[in-house]
Amino acid sequence: MIFSVGCEIGYDVAQQATLIFNIEAMRGGRQRVVSERLTITPNLPADEKTSEESGNRYLRLTVPQGVVQLRYEAQIELDALHRAPAVIHEVPIATLPLDTLPFLNPSRYCPSDQLARFANRQFGNIEPGFGRVVEICNWINSEVDYLFGTSDTTTTAADTFSLRAGVCRDFAHLGITFCRALGIPARFVSCYAWQLKPQDFHAVFEAYLGDRWYLFDATRMAALDGMVRIGVGRDAADTAFATIYGQVMPLPIRVWSEAINGDKAEEWTTDAVSVTRD
């Protein structure tokens, strides 16, 4: 299926500032960039870098005083892999691929050591496998209210667990935290999300099960096989769509994700979904 995705971002810069963006769709795996265009107004020189480790694509601008605006638009082909959840098992830590091991550790927003006792009490007796991660998502969706304005850039999964309220990044952080506490590698994913209402940058997570990373969304607000990944990392600190060094005032943001072929009205899948590799 092919999706048209993109965003418009702007800032009113009080004095020269450095802005680092992560808004371009990732390349590789089962996600193919068919075409894309990035427009910067005014026309400023930019440094671009794709992380060899994560595949995240970074753009750095040094911006003078005044208004700067970015428009990113792309057509992305997704060939999501669908599998039956019942056949997907957890992987013993002794046999996990070495590059997944960092995603077992606590991180800035995902203090899995602090919530390990609860995670093991609540989910430890559930049969290991894909279904256990689904139960983690079920618990978050049931027990945590989706409420704007209840969290900020300092909110950790432990805070969300106490507040029982948050937004998509908080739901993702809590899911990651519970998975890591159970010995399941998990990582944060920022994305353009088809059928998300209202449209915005979205946050979900991936858990490593069987032989690959699978997508999970505890918010249940968008179709898993319509998520165009922008960035992955230990938590939101690694995948922020904008990191600001200087005094700026953000302008209104517009984000979109639309299906341009395939069945636009299809029901959301209950399959296990992966887009990381063939």
Q: Hey, CA dihedral for 129, 130, 133, 139, is it positive or negative? A: negative
Selection from 184, 235, 251, 256 nearest residue 11 by Cα: 251
How many C-alpha atoms does 6 have within 13 Å on its Cβ side?
Answer: 13
Q: Where are the domains of the chain?
A: 81-238
β-sheet with 17-21: strand ranges across = 46-50, 57-63, 17-21, 242-245
pLDDT exceeds cutoff 70 at 263: no
181-204 confidence digits (pLDDT tens): 999 999 999 999 999 999 999 999
39-70 confidence digits (pLDDT tens): 999 999 999 999 999 999 999 999 999 999 99
66-84 confidence digits (pLDDT tens): 999 999 999 999 999 999 9
Q: What is the CATH number of domain 81-238?
A: 3.10.620.30
Phi, psi of 157 (to 5 degrees): -60, -35
Tokens of 259: 């299906």
pLDDT exceeds cutoff 90 at 87: yes
With beta carbons less than 8 A apart as the criterion, state whether 220 and 204 touch: no
